[in-house]
Amino acid sequence: GAADSYIATHRKPWWKVGLKSPPPIMMSYMGRRPPSFARNACGARIINIAHGLTPLRPISIRSQDQLVAWLNENVRVTAGRTYGGGMVKFEPGDAMGIPLPHDITIFEAA
């Protein structure tokens, strides 16, 4: 197979996918609509199809669900960059700039 070819066995890899720890929340980053947010209940690792969101401090699963619902309801395409044909892309810096409620503790309520 390809892994046993001359090039594969004699060249050093110039690039590889760096797998990070699974994020608790995932975010789509490209489309013609606002991004979608979902809790990563299955612990999937991200290669290049989404951005991973990790709270700065641990929050409960219930709070993650509430945060995901809030993000899906409140984030608009205007927070991203618009390209030809109406394609909107959220770069990592754009995602970091998404404003959250000032009192994030609302997601910790019982």
Instruction: Give the pLDDT confidence of 58-96 residue by residue, as tens digits.
Output: 889 998 999 999 999 999 998 899 998 999 999 989 988
Type of residue found at 32:
R
CA distance 13 to 91: 26
Pick 4 or 17 by higher pLDDT: 4
**Whether residue 104 has pLDDT greater than 70:** no
Query: Is 50 exposed, middle or buried, given 0-12, 13-18 or 19+ CB atoms closer than 10 A?
Result: buried
| Mean pLDDT, the chain, whole residue set | 87
Top pLDDT among 32 and 13 is at 32
**Reported pTM:** 0.76
Cβ neighbour number for residue 8 with a 10 Å cutoff: 11
pLDDT band at 105 (very low <50, low <70, confident <90, very high): low
Cα–Cα distances (Å) from 44 to 65, 88, 108, 110, in that order, read 16, 24, 24, 28
Strands, sheet with 37-39, edge to edge from the N-terminal-most edge strand: 37-39, 25-27, 51-53
